[in-house]
Amino acid sequence: MAAISHHPVTSWQARLIGRGMRIAVRPLLTHAPLTDWTMARLRWADLAGSALALPEGATAIRRSFGEFDAELVTGAGVSDSAPSIVIYFHGGAFVMGGLRSHRRLVSRISSAAGSPVLQVNYRQLPAVTLEHTVDDCLRVYRELLDDGYPASRIAFAGDSAGGYLVFAVAHAAMAQGLPVPAAIAALSPWVDLTCKYSTDHPNARTDSYLPIRQLSAIGKRLAPAGDPLLALLEADLARMPPTLIQVGSTEVLRSDAELMTDRLSSAGVQVALQIWDRQIHVFQATADVVPEANAAIGELGRFIHEKLAGPLRTVNKKVAT
């Protein structure tokens, strides 16, 4: 049975950011043309993250995976030789986002969970399809297993599009005979890529900045109609690991979070859903100014730490600068 909790407090900082996003960001996203040219240039938005320094005491080391790379982020107070690790899949609707844009969020998750976080700079539209993206992320998991990390010391975490990937990659791992990770943490997951359920949800009108029409258009570009990757909610989820899902009460992807919670619970999976009142999509990224974001990261960190806890050992990491 699912454990569903509501977090009713909304700070003035959260309300201010929500209004600002609705005024300044939603109109831009609503009217942005989704051509190959514009989608390719949305990747440049990740460069803006270069202006955001890592929190004091955190480190980041690049690791190459050939056609893409990743970054091992170690938060303040965390040892980079810790025997557990979190694999993080960033959000950005499969067209934007990257290592720079999510570095501060990932470093905070590392500190909260007490484990280094390897965030994956997977390939995105329009360069590749969803199948390639899932393959990239599965490759990272497979290589960490080859490095000597047991699955019981690995957790998946991700936001939005990355919230889809945490489940899709775990499902792909099962299909290939690999063990599932010890835990999954999903922040505002976009799991219904067809937007069949979210389009008619009341939150399609209340979301601060995500236009459902654009999400639906991107979903049509990700994979051919009928592709099993588009039917994650109908997949066999019975062997999924314990899962924590966090979502804002008024965001358009609340329906996705609730549906995935229901599917996991029906499959007998231990799942907890936290609904945070009037928080924006992936509000955890606003932890510099929003107290609820810090609280949510703390909840997420405790969940991961609990699932990765136990007799530990040091492993040999293959991390290259």
Q: Provide the annotated active-site residues.
A: 160
What's the Rg (C-alpha) of the chain?
A: 18
What DSSP element (H or E) covers 284?
none
State both tokens at 301: 């960190």
Residue with tokens 């799991």: 191
Sheet with 271-276: strands ordered across:
3-7, 271-276, 243-248, 183-187, 154-159, 85-89, 117-121, 69-74, 59-64
**292 in Cβ contact with 105 (< 8 Å):** no
Spatial distance between the Cα atoms of 296 and 77, rounded to a whole number of angstroms? 19
DSSP-derived secondary structure for 11-54: -HHHHHHHHHHHHHTHHHHHH----HHHHHHHGGGGGGGGGSPP
